[in-house]
Structure 1
Amino acid sequence: MATEILMPALSPTMEEGTLAKWLVKEGDTVSSGDLLAEIETDKATMEFEAVDEGVIGKIIVAEGTEGVKVNSPIAILLEEGEDASAVDSASAPKADTSSGTAPAEPSEATEPAKGYGRDGGAAAAPAPAAQSGDRVFATPLARRIAKDKGLDLSQIKGSGPRGRIVKSDVENAKPGAAKSEAAATPAAKTETAGQKPAMAAGMSADQVIKMFDGRDFEEVKLDGMRKTVAARLTEAKQTIPHFYLRRDIRLDALLKFRGQLNKQLEGRGVKLSVNDFIIKACALALQEVPDANAVWAGDRMLRLKPSDVAVAVAIDGGLFTPVLKDAHLKSLSALSAEMKDLATRARDRKLAPHEYQGGSFAISNLGMFGIDNFDAVINPPHGSILAVGVGVKKPVIGSDGEITAATVMSVTLSVDHRVIDGALGADFLKAIAQNLENPITMLA
């Protein structure tokens, strides 16, 4: 039976992608794990692997095609021994890359295959062997091996597309294996991982363009990243009940301590930034106020135990939020080195999905751009995000009641009220401030 190879969802926000390059051609024989194509997602260019063996019978979507919808057929895979006539009988629908309509359902002559990216994209979980009546879907090679070993295919759980039994399933099967309790009907096509982008609101593109009729302007085409940023932030502001907590933090002790550390670390080539201290302070605060270390999960909350801190990194056309996992356990120098590496690879769009997914909390620092203060938008499913402004010299009242000068940094904590209430958010922000104003305690 011919198999449809579908456009995979290689990132949690991917709705469509660009088929940048085919790494195989029609007539090529492929095995599970072989690279099929390079696909540009909303975040990066990633490799797409085969999950079954067979022959590339037909390439449906040409390389360079943009806007290919997730789960649209992009190629036909033939089983061993099938000829090209199976491609014609499959009548595989082509992806509609212009109208934005959903792809047609697969025909009965084909089965959709799901793939995964080499760089951290997970394959769909193995499903029970797909059956139709008494029929069990398996590759010809798997059937021959099962026959030689005297195995009952109906008792083997398939890991191929839609639960299809492949060679490895039969080779690893044990005689008398229990039947799967899963439903026998073929699995429905999965939706893109993560939440769907919110529908655009307001005026249509044509309406906006008419407003500027006769004026000189240039239309800027949106790439996948900009579309995703727009959709997710629209969704965040429409669906997340934000509230904001603001606080000034004195940096004089931190700047003095940082200068001492950098002088001592100069021989190792390490130079700590204020942002490194902010990351560490927030990571420790998540441990000190564990109820704030939480995310919204639709109908429940998830409280995390490690401090996985995301940090916004601006790149051309958008931004990444790479995640520093277990940040509370790492030294300042380790956090500094890791953050530099993640930021560099983010700007080159070389991050794997697992490096920018997750975390319960994020930091957005615009202080280096001279911004005094701002309100950041929460990145779902995070429970909060800290907006950091520039440190500036200001007159303050000292402990002795006298007016003195101090370096003050304004921060704003944007909070998801479904996850964190006001008093809890205040405790969390207080813990962050105390860590930054007493930096030596972060080394304890």
Structure 2
Amino acid sequence: MYSIVRQQLLRAGLRARPGMASLHTSAALRDLSKFTMPAMSPTMQDGGIAAWRKNEGESFNSGDVLLEIETDKATMEVEATDDGVMAKILVAAGAKNVPVNSTIAIVGEEGDDLSGADALAEEAKNESASAASQAEESKEDKPKEDKEDKPKEQPKEQPKEAPKEQPKEAPKEEKPSNKPQDRVFATPAAKRIALERGVPLREIKGSGPEGRILQEDVEKYKPQGGAPGGGAAAAAVPAETYTDEPLSNMRRVIASRLTESKSTVPHYYVTFDIEMDRVNQLREVFNRAAKESAKGDAEKEKAAKLSVNDFIVKAAAIALKQVPEVNSAFHGEYVRQHHVQDISMAVATPTGLITPILRNCGAIGLAEIGAQSKALAKKARDGKLKPDEYQGGTFTISNMGMMGTSHFTAIINPPQSCILALGTTEARLVPDDSEKGFRVAHFMKATISADHRVVDGATAARWMQAFKAAVENPLSFML
């Protein structure tokens, strides 16, 4: 059954590594094996189990979907590559933050003796508990030493300092506590929440090691009716005015990566005003022709209809060909310049932002770009993107013009060196050779965010000039 996991990893572009799916020492006798959480992408460290498609005791065939795994970007199906039977499920559907390589089920082959599944499951649980305990001990060793040392030293030094400090501190500290010099041990999260809610930590009995106050203790705290000062009574009011939503895997990764990008990548910005009238006119001509060819078929007409964003993507690809320095990525000791224009397209989903990739945009036409955009956007919103559909882009476009945004700057998606932010189209009066002496034109603000380690200011300006020329002369797309 090890081949099932190995094939899952090969499908995800990875090779099986030692420990990812190890057979029990007596599995040869019981014909059972441990099924571990696979890594569905190179950066995946943990994931959630969205659903099990096979129940305990149920057999499966090669190609059957065993379960759905929720990664940081999408929900992916895991298929069986061999026939077998689901002996026991260890991690239930809905579980979050399941570490890669941890055992999630026991599997066997049709006709195997499944009586050893419970024992093998217990062994897997013990291994997981042991690993978690060791990790926790390594984290707690240093804090525990601090907590043990400091309280022991205080009684020795206290008599010398007590006469000086007590007269000043007594009026403030005597009310909430009879021991003003006692330290309150609490986790950083507990202290932060207590400060936000106005909860007095001295009135809380900690449930952590050595009485340490945990976040859960603060959240469960209920003030007594006669609490002094009214602070505790007031603390109950804010708790009812908000809801804490746990971070999804996607939102957690977005927070981490964008914080790293903004704090480590030297961003700078170049903005151009781009006239959109010719794009709008050509788009209208194309869409009118698509409507006529569809002959009343609404679905066919919708599929063939071009958006302004399709023209933007093609213009960006042309500019990347002309100024290839922008089509680069920073890799620490070297800069990689890409020879194809794989453009990431920012798509908002209920769980966060994701960037599916339109491949080789410099070599395909507007119709193909439009078809890919629609298909990828739908898969992104449905959470069905595969890793190769959102990993590996060379340049990103974020378009918020349809939301009425006039202008904004975007955060670079490393290791890419640039991202283009687009606002809405606005009407302006511009000089003209007509009798009126002016005409109404429609302009869009486009801003490129560039990594100064890779792209100099003059290079970014040259790219923007090439992009502007392509958008303002869309017939050049046909050449």
- Asked if TM exceeds 0.5, the reply is yes
Matches for 1:351-366 after TM superposition, within 5 Å = 351-366=385-400
Instruction: Give 1:318 deviation, angstroms.
Output: 1.0
Aligned partner of residue 221 in structure 1, secondary structure:
coil
Tell me the equivalent position of 1:156: none
Find the aligned partners of 1:420 and 1:247 in 2 and give their Cα distance. 17
Find the aligned partners of 2:242 and 2:117 in 1 and give their Cα distance. 51
Tell me the equivalent position of 1:293: 327
| Change beyond 3 A, Cα 1:204–1:380 | farther
Matches for 1:2-401 after TM superposition, within 5 Å = 2=24, 3-26=33-56, 35-50=65-80, 56=86, 58-77=88-107, 84-85=115-116, 88=119, 91-93=123-125, 204=189, 207-208=192-193, 210-212=195-197, 213=235, 214-215=237-238, 216-268=241-293, 269=301, 270-397=304-431
Matches for 1:392-411 after TM superposition, within 5 Å = 392-397=426-431, 404-411=439-446
Aligned partner of residue 306 in structure 1, secondary structure:
coil
| Change beyond 3 A, Cα 1:88–1:378 | same
- Equivalent position amino acid for 1:442 in 2: F
| Change beyond 3 A, Cα 1:422–1:208 | farther
Instruction: Give 1:342 deviation, angstroms.
Output: 1.4
- Equivalent position amino acid for 1:65 in 2: A
Instruction: Give 1:388 deviation, angstroms.
Output: 0.1
The answer as to 2:427 corresponding to 1:424 is no
Q: Does the CA-based 8 Å contact 2:75-2:385 persist in structure 1?
A: no
Q: Does the CA-based 8 Å contact 1:60-1:94 persist in structure 2?
A: no
- Equivalent position amino acid for 1:336 in 2: G
Aligned partner of residue 336 in structure 1, secondary structure:
helix
Find the aligned partners of 1:399 and 1:375 in 2 and give their Cα distance. 35
Q: Percent identity?
A: 41
Q: Does the CA-based 8 Å contact 1:95-1:103 persist in structure 2?
A: no
Q: Does the CA-based 8 Å contact 2:89-2:106 persist in structure 1?
A: yes
Aligned partner of residue 66 in structure 1, secondary structure:
coil
Find the aligned partners of 1:104 and 1:50 in 2 and give their Cα distance. 33
1:414 to 446, 449, 466: 449
Find the aligned partners of 2:40 and 2:360 in 1 and give their Cα distance. 25
Aligned partner of residue 377 in structure 1, secondary structure:
coil
| Change beyond 3 A, Cα 1:272–1:232 | same
- Equivalent position amino acid for 2:192 in 1: Q
Q: Does the CA-based 8 Å contact 1:310-1:363 persist in structure 2?
A: yes
Q: Does the CA-based 8 Å contact 2:88-2:117 persist in structure 1?
A: no
| Change beyond 3 A, Cα 1:304–1:102 | farther
The answer as to 2:475 corresponding to 1:443 is no
Find the aligned partners of 1:239 and 1:368 in 2 and give their Cα distance. 31
Find the aligned partners of 1:378 and 1:91 in 2 and give their Cα distance. 45
Find the aligned partners of 1:398 and 1:13 in 2 and give their Cα distance. 55
| Change beyond 3 A, Cα 1:277–1:208 | farther
User: After superposition, what is the alpha-carbon deviation per residue over 1:205-242, rounded to whole angstroms, capped at 9, x for unaligned?
Assistant: 76156425432211122222222222221122122221
Q: Does the CA-based 8 Å contact 1:69-1:102 persist in structure 2?
A: no
Structure 2: runs of 5+ lacking an equivalent: 1-22, 25-32, 136-187, 198-234, 294-300
| Change beyond 3 A, Cα 1:205–1:51 | farther
Structure 1: runs of 5+ lacking an equivalent: 106-202
Find the aligned partners of 1:334 and 1:103 in 2 and give their Cα distance. 53
Write 1 or 2 for the structure with the bigger share of helix: 2
Instruction: Give 1:257 deviation, angstroms.
Output: 2.5
Question: Between Structure 1 and Structure 2, how many residues are aligned?
Answer: 344
| Change beyond 3 A, Cα 1:52–1:260 | closer
| Change beyond 3 A, Cα 1:294–1:48 | same
| Change beyond 3 A, Cα 1:345–1:33 | closer
Q: CA RMSD in A?
A: 3.3
User: After superposition, what is the alpha-carbon deviation per residue over 1:239-275, rounded to whole angstroms, capped at 9, x for unaligned?
Assistant: 2221111111111222223223333333233332211
- Equivalent position amino acid for 1:91 in 2: E
Aligned partner of residue 328 in structure 1, secondary structure:
helix
User: After superposition, what is the alpha-carbon deviation per residue over 1:264-299, rounded to whole angstroms, capped at 9, x for unaligned?
Assistant: 333233332211110110011111112221122343
TM-score normalised by the chain length of structure 2: 0.64
